[in-house]
Amino acid sequence: MRNPQAKRQSQIITMIVVVFVIFFARLFYLQIIDTSSQISANNNALRNVTQYPARGLIYDRNGKLLVYNEAVYDLMVIPGQVKEMDTVEFCKLIDISIEDFRKNLNKARRHSRFAPSVFEKQLSRETYGQLQERLFKFRGFYVQPRNLRKYPKPVAAHVLGYIGEVDERTIENNPYYKSGDYIGMSGLERFYEEYLRGWKGNKVLLVDVHNREKGSFRNGLYDTASIPGLSLQSTLDIDIQELAELLMQNKRGSVVAIEPATGEILAFVSSPGYDPNLLVGRVRSANFRKLNNDPQKPLFNRAIQAEYPPGSTFKIPQGLIAMQQGVVTEHSSFACDQSQVGCHPHPTVRNMRDAVKVSCNPYFVSAFRRIIQQNKDRNIFIDSRIGLEQWNKDIRSFGFGERLEIDLPHCRPGLIPTVAYYDRVYGENRWAFSNFRSVSIGQGELGIIPLQMANLAAIVANRGYYITPHLCRTLNDTIIPNRDFIQKRYTTVDPEHFESVVWGMYDAVHEPGGTARRARVDGIAVCGKTGTVQNPHGKNHATFIAFAPMDEPKIAIAVFIENSGFGGTWAAPIASLVIEKYLTGEVKRKELMQEMINAGFMTTKGH
Amino acid sequence: MREDKGFLKNVDGWLIFIYLVLVIVGWLNIYAAVYDENHSSIFDLSQKYGKQMLFMIAGFVIAILILLIDMRFFMNMAYVFYGLSIVLLIAVLVVGTRVSGQQAWFQIGGFSFQPAEIMKFATCLTLAKYLSSSGVNLKNASAKFVSLIIIFLPTVFILLQPDMGSALVFTAFILVLYREGLPTWYVWVGFAAVVIFVLDLLVPFWVLLVILGLATSVLIYLNKKTFRNIASAVLLFVAAAGFGYVANHAFEKLEPHQKDRINVLLGKEVDLKGVGYNVNQSKIAIGSGGFAGKGYLQGTQTKFNFVPEQSTDFIFCTVGEEWGFIGSTIILGLFLVLILRIVFLAERQRNTFARIYGYGVAAILFFHVLVNIGMAVGLLPVIGIPLPFFSYGGSSLWAFTLLLFVFIKQDASRIAF
């Protein structure tokens, strides 16, 4: 060496060269010698097969199965791997035309050349069996097992909801979902999607040149197991649900029954409904279109989305609020003065109990006037503002005008008119009690959903509180989905004011002159209140709320039937039959039941 | 014709050629790595490959500007560059944008800039300028001290970001010091430190002590058994054991993900779905390329997003998968020729500044290639630093362009001196 620096120069060069030689050797090892990672070098391919978890089953409150899964098979394709093949044989195997084949393949290609797409959905077990044996001839195709929902009984469609393929927006917003995955679209399926769906797993398989699976890649080192969804115990009692749906056939309306002590919904009917089995599998989209175009709107969930004025059932909270505010007592009486509002012939009303029993209109107009105009200001307009504001606080504590946080999507809040509302309609300080007198008796600017009416029945049954009505009892038998579902919500009305109203509701069913005599059930103290909703577009709507037995009530119920006339005629018997079935286990009044089943009110259109 | 050739006069054709090949092939590979059928034009500016094209064009402009400027400009401005870069490093800690836990970027509109990249260039210039000034000799303690300060001052701020990868790059300058006469035992101490550190992680502390004890005994046995030799050996043993102890504690202080990465590399933990995932997928992708590769845009491992950071730190995977052994060795070979050519040219410089600067450029490029490709083929732990000229990103492409072309300019002006 000439000098130390030249020596160091050659040392540095040697080191650089040595490092690169090591890299060359390493690449030689990885790419030429170590065949274990040469997946595609021999035209082998790795296939990621998603392990779909079983979706959680749904049971009723007595453990009867409502929803289960059935295996079907999706035919998947990775367009980049498709090679020349016998298309005719292939199409024959899965029973599609050559045009469909081309269409499906092009669609998959547009999605991605390298990622799998669904080629044909939900092959039957038989088709799958035939295809399986010959699949090796068709490179790029493979079968992905899936679960479909099945319903042993064709009931409770609006509660259970349905599942469908995720849309592009969901896929973009939530990385869990991939194209072709199923997701809850409505009902409990949607609300409890994250619990029911479980968690997908992944299995990496080696696939050879003939599209045959060569087993697990590296002994399943990269596989993840799927986690099954949680089972869901619903609060529904499938027996009375079935009866209620039967009774509601050929009628538009709703039935909601609640266990007052727990807020658990026992029956939840929106009529007309549909068989949930219609929205499953390959027939789903065709049936969905049909149901969606049906003028009777079977997909519309009336029980939580249809807002109606509540009719005379509204007299119950009105009376209670009047007593709580001290503007009337349970002994107050008002003359049946029909100068401002009509009434029907009835015996003299001596007190609140009588007023509820015979549903006297002038009585509640007078009571509501006292609520609204308490002479807190000399100006009648300002006085009405103060009164309406206080009344709003009270009536909203009954769950009216506010969204009940039921575990179903798209529940409507309904409408309770506020000061701001009338300011908008009439102008500030240009309205007083006379402008909304009809609200006294549940007509006019009111929007109440059937669920809220059933909740009202539960409030009276509980003498002053409710628990948010809900449809899921437990997940996996242990998890209570929401703390709200065990929390009592008190109204602003004290329990002692409820007695006169409860007795009035008892009389309405059991005493001569009562409006709801058709709701009697032998041996059971039923308390009920009818309502008839004036309908400017057609025949009046009938409504009825009830609970039973009078002491320690087990069931509270609301029935709403569009265009059926007086509430006592149709709504009351239907409620009483459901009560009878729930409390005694059977219906003894077969004739009444048949009469109700046969009745139909769907001929007149409009709502 | 003389006018046209003006700024290309005397430039080294090899370097320019390899630079252009690497940058353009890099761009094509970014396109392959993040290929998306919905944005299939390589000129789509909403995609990484479209942006890289703009970075590339800007890089060419920078290169031409450098060739037009008098070479003495950079030499004279070295300390100014250094000072400004340090200020930027401090500023980024205050007003920088936090991206995945690192405060390493300035973000101005859609444009982001990493000052650590420009710091490499400034440090290279400054080190060259300092060591080439008259009266500075690495045999003197003060010169060693100042050189080490120049090299490691930036790493303090970079580690605060914290960006271990970029900070480590500065250790490459030790190579330059070695070339310029740093005593050999410095390098040996550094090497021993690394060995002890690795052993430290692999075996319990008492085993390390036994190994060190054995090594000391061998040392004593092999040398003359004078008191002086034995005493030095024992002192050495104590120092090594002390270092091992401290290093062990320092390791415990590392970020968990860095600890994991080192552990995976050493084979202590095999968790292929977690930390080892990147490396393992990277190896599979490269391995699956085989001899001739799957062909351009045909890679499945990278397409299916098996390999993370495909366009930046793991860009070499795409090369390995789509171009196979042939393609990867050609790219690797180009880097080797590039680095050796710089070393060769550096040695033929007549002025010391240009020589030292050239070694600095070679050392930085070598370190980047060593760590980046070493990581992709599973020989080194995952440390995120880009592959020069190849990885996606404006800051790093421009910094490497700057580094290289200032050297090309020095080399082209050599006749003038």
Q: What is the CATH number of the domain that holds A458?
A: 3.40.710.10
Using the Cβ of B334 and the Cβ atoms of chain A, whether some distance falls under 8 Å is answered with no
Cβ separation B288–A38 shorter than 8 A: yes
A3, pLDDT greater than 70: no
Please tell me what DSSP assigns to residue A29: I
> How far, in Å, are A451, A486, A554, A606 from residue A233 at the CA level?
20, 16, 19, 37
Using the Cβ of B328 and the Cβ atoms of chain A, whether some distance falls under 8 Å is answered with yes
* Confidence band for A39, pLDDT divided at 50, 70 and 90: very low
For residue B260, the model assigns a pLDDT of 63
**B352 phi, psi to nearest 5 deg:** -60, -40
Rounded to the nearest angstrom, the minimum Cα separation between A282 and chain B is: 29
**A465 phi, psi to nearest 5 deg:** -145, 170
Report the 10 Å Cβ neighbour count for A248: 24
- Asked whether residue A272 falls in the same domain as residue A128, the answer is no
- Asked whether residue A182 falls in the same domain as residue A271, the answer is no
Question: In this complex, which of A8, A9, A30 lies closest to B287 when CB atoms are compared?
Answer: A30
Cβ separation B288–A26 shorter than 8 A: no
- CA–CA gap between residue A241 and residue A239 (Å, rounded): 5
Using the Cβ of A5 and the Cβ atoms of chain B, whether some distance falls under 8 Å is answered with yes
State ipTM.
Answer: 0.85
Reported as a single tens digit per residue, the pLDDT across B42-73 is 777 777 888 889 999 999 999 999 999 888 89
Which chain B residues are closer than 8 Å to A24 by Cβ?
329, 332
Question: In this predicted structure, which of A224-228, A409-413, A505-509, B263-267 has the lowest mean pLDDT?
Answer: B263-267
- Asked whether residue A103 falls in the same domain as residue A207, the answer is yes
Cβ separation B329–A8 shorter than 8 A: no
Helix/strand number for chain A, H first, E second: 20, 18
Using the Cβ of A132 and the Cβ atoms of chain B, whether some distance falls under 8 Å is answered with no
- Asked whether residue A172 falls in the same domain as residue A197, the answer is yes
For residue A140, the model assigns a pLDDT of 82
Reported as a single tens digit per residue, the pLDDT across A489-533 is 999 999 999 999 999 999 999 988 888 888 888 889 999 999 988
Peptide bond preceding A145 in cis form (omega within 30 of 0) = no
Using the Cβ of A37 and the Cβ atoms of chain B, whether some distance falls under 8 Å is answered with yes
* Confidence band for A607, pLDDT divided at 50, 70 and 90: very low
Q: Say if residues A572 and A518 touch (Cβ distance below 8 Å).
A: yes
Using the Cβ of A38 and the Cβ atoms of chain B, whether some distance falls under 8 Å is answered with yes
Mean pLDDT calculated for residue range B401-409: 94
Q: Which two tokens stand for residue A532?
A: 């008839």
Interface mutation vs chain B, best among A30, A81, A168, A219, most B CBs within 10 Å: A30
Q: Quickly tell me which residue has 């008098």 as its tokens.
A: B70
Using the Cβ of B412 and the Cβ atoms of chain A, whether some distance falls under 8 Å is answered with no
> How far, in Å, are A388, A422, B367 from residue A321 at the CA level?
12, 21, 82
Interface mutation vs chain A, best among B377, B380, B387, most A CBs within 10 Å: B377
Angle (CA) A409-A410-A416 rounded to 5° is: 135
Question: In this complex, which of B303, B343, B379 lies closest to A114 when CB atoms are compared?
Answer: B303
Mean pLDDT calculated for residue range B114-123: 92
Domain assignment of residue A3, yes or no: no
Interface mutation vs chain B, best among A20, A29, A207, most B CBs within 10 Å: A20
Q: Which residue has the higher pLDDT, B167 or A508?
A: A508
A49, pLDDT greater than 90: no
Question: In this predicted structure, which of A237-241, A552-556, B141-145 has the lowest mean pLDDT?
Answer: B141-145
Report the 10 Å Cβ neighbour count for B369: 25
List, in sequence order, the alpha helices (H) in B98-204. Answer: 115-132, 141-160, 164-169, 173-179, 184-202
Q: Please name the residue of chain B whose CA is at the shortest distance from the CA of residue A3.
A: B181
Question: In this complex, which of A32, A38, A45 lies closest to B300 when CB atoms are compared?
Answer: A45
For residue B300, the model assigns a pLDDT of 59
- Asked whether residue A221 falls in the same domain as residue A335, the answer is no
Cβ separation A19–B181 shorter than 8 A: no
Q: Say if residues B56 and B23 touch (Cβ distance below 8 Å).
A: yes
Mean pLDDT calculated for residue range A363-387: 91
Mean pLDDT calculated for residue range B361-375: 93
Rounded to 10 deg, the angle between the A567-584 and A590-598 helix axes is 130
Mean pLDDT calculated for residue range A150-155: 91
Give the distance, in angstroms, between the CA of residue A203 and the centroid of all CA atoms in the same chain: 34
Using the Cβ of B310 and the Cβ atoms of chain A, whether some distance falls under 8 Å is answered with no
Which chain A residues are closer than 8 Å to B324 by Cβ?
31
Question: In this complex, which of A9, A19, A41 lies closest to B290 when CB atoms are compared?
Answer: A41
For residue B417, the model assigns a pLDDT of 46
Domain assignment of residue A570, yes or no: yes
Cβ separation A41–B288 shorter than 8 A: yes
Mean pLDDT calculated for residue range B193-208: 73
Mean pLDDT calculated for residue range A256-274: 95
For residue B59, the model assigns a pLDDT of 93
3-state SS, residue B98 = strand
Using the Cβ of A221 and the Cβ atoms of chain B, whether some distance falls under 8 Å is answered with yes
Mean pLDDT calculated for residue range A231-253: 94
Using the Cβ of A19 and the Cβ atoms of chain B, whether some distance falls under 8 Å is answered with yes
- The CATH code of the domain that includes A225 is 3.90.1310.10
Mean pLDDT of chain B: 82
Domain assignment of residue A348, yes or no: yes
- Asked whether residue A275 falls in the same domain as residue A385, the answer is yes
Angle (CA) B390-B395-B399 rounded to 5° is: 80
Using the Cβ of B40 and the Cβ atoms of chain A, whether some distance falls under 8 Å is answered with no
Mean pLDDT of chain A: 87
For residue B63, the model assigns a pLDDT of 93
Range 181-210 of B in CB contact (< 8 A) with A: 181
Domain assignment of residue A39, yes or no: no
Mean pLDDT calculated for residue range B17-27: 93
Using the Cβ of A12 and the Cβ atoms of chain B, whether some distance falls under 8 Å is answered with yes
Using the Cβ of B283 and the Cβ atoms of chain A, whether some distance falls under 8 Å is answered with yes
Strands (E), A284-431: none
Range of the domain at A106: 45-233
Cβ separation A32–B325 shorter than 8 A: yes
Peptide bond preceding A154 in cis form (omega within 30 of 0) = no
Rounded to the nearest angstrom, the minimum Cα separation between A175 and chain B is: 14
- CA–CA gap between residue B374 and residue B380 (Å, rounded): 5
Rounded to the nearest angstrom, the minimum Cα separation between A492 and chain B is: 52
Tell me the percentage of chain A whose pLDDT exceeds 90: 50
Question: In this complex, which of A17, A24, A224 lies closest to B329 when CB atoms are compared?
Answer: A24
- Asked whether residue A460 falls in the same domain as residue A561, the answer is yes
Provide, for chain B, the percentages of residues in helix, strand and coil under a 3-state DSSP scheme, each rounded to the nearest 5.
70, 5, 25
Using the Cβ of A425 and the Cβ atoms of chain B, whether some distance falls under 8 Å is answered with no
Which of A207, A233, A259 is the last residue in one of the domains?
Answer: A233
Reported as a single tens digit per residue, the pLDDT across B207-232 is 888 888 888 888 788 777 788 888 88
Q: Which residues pair with A224 in a beta bridge?
A: A202
Which chain A residues are closer than 8 Å to B325 by Cβ?
27-28, 31-32
Q: Say if residues B341 and B324 touch (Cβ distance below 8 Å).
A: no
- CA–CA gap between residue B55 and residue B401 (Å, rounded): 11
Angle (CA) A447-A452-A456 rounded to 5° is: 120
Q: Say if residues A252 and A271 touch (Cβ distance below 8 Å).
A: yes
For residue A209, the model assigns a pLDDT of 46
Which of A184, A217, A233 is the last residue in one of the domains?
Answer: A233
Question: In this complex, which of B291, B328, B366 lies closest to A16 when CB atoms are compared?
Answer: B366
Q: Which residue has the higher pLDDT, A212 or A572?
A: A572
- Asked whether residue A167 falls in the same domain as residue A258, the answer is no
Cβ separation A31–B37 shorter than 8 A: no
Q: Which two tokens stand for residue A475?
A: 């997940």
Cβ separation A26–B347 shorter than 8 A: no
- Asked whether residue A71 falls in the same domain as residue A209, the answer is yes
* Confidence band for B307, pLDDT divided at 50, 70 and 90: low
Domain assignment of residue A504, yes or no: yes
Question: In this complex, which of A8, A80, A112 lies closest to B179 when CB atoms are compared?
Answer: A8
Q: Which residue has the higher pLDDT, A547 or B256?
A: A547
Using the Cβ of B380 and the Cβ atoms of chain A, whether some distance falls under 8 Å is answered with no
Which chain B residues are closer than 8 Å to A30 by Cβ?
283, 286-287, 320, 377
Sign of CA dihedral A93, A97, A103, A106: positive
B36, pLDDT greater than 50: yes
Mean pLDDT calculated for residue range B77-86: 94
- CA–CA gap between residue B27 and residue B23 (Å, rounded): 6
- Asked whether residue A254 falls in the same domain as residue A147, the answer is no
Cβ separation A27–B320 shorter than 8 A: yes
Question: In this complex, which of A9, A23, A40 lies closest to B377 when CB atoms are compared?
Answer: A23
- CA–CA gap between residue A66 and residue A236 (Å, rounded): 10
Q: Which two tokens stand for residue A182?
A: 């199923």
Mean pLDDT calculated for residue range B157-174: 83
Peptide bond preceding A228 in cis form (omega within 30 of 0) = no
Q: Which residues pair with A203 in a beta bridge?
A: A49
Cβ separation A22–B379 shorter than 8 A: yes
* Confidence band for A382, pLDDT divided at 50, 70 and 90: very high
Give the distance, in angstroms, between the CA of residue A216 and the centroid of all CA atoms in the same chain: 41
DSSP, residue by residue, B359-399:
HHHHHHHHHHHHHHHHHHTTSS-----PPTTTSS-HHHHHH
- Asked whether residue A187 falls in the same domain as residue A267, the answer is no
Q: Which residues pair with B240 in a beta bridge?
A: none
Cβ separation B332–A8 shorter than 8 A: no
Reported as a single tens digit per residue, the pLDDT across B237-274 is 888 888 777 777 766 666 666 666 566 555 454 444 44
Which chain B residues are closer than 8 Å to A32 by Cβ?
290-291, 325
Domain assignment of residue A36, yes or no: no
Cβ separation B181–A4 shorter than 8 A: yes
- CA–CA gap between residue A471 and residue A265 (Å, rounded): 6
Indicate the burial class of B188 (C-beta count within 10 angstroms; 0-12, 13-18, 19 or more). Answer: exposed
Task: Give the gyration radius of chain B's Cα atoms.
Answer: 23
CB pairs under 8 A between A and B: 100
Range 91-120 of A in CB contact (< 8 A) with B: 112-115
Which chain A residues are closer than 8 Å to B372 by Cβ?
none
- Asked whether residue A203 falls in the same domain as residue A270, the answer is no
Into how many domains does chain A fold? 2
Burial readout A208-229 (b: 16 or more C-beta within 10 A, e: otherwise): eeebeeeeebbeeebbeebebb
- CA–CA gap between residue A558 and residue A547 (Å, rounded): 9
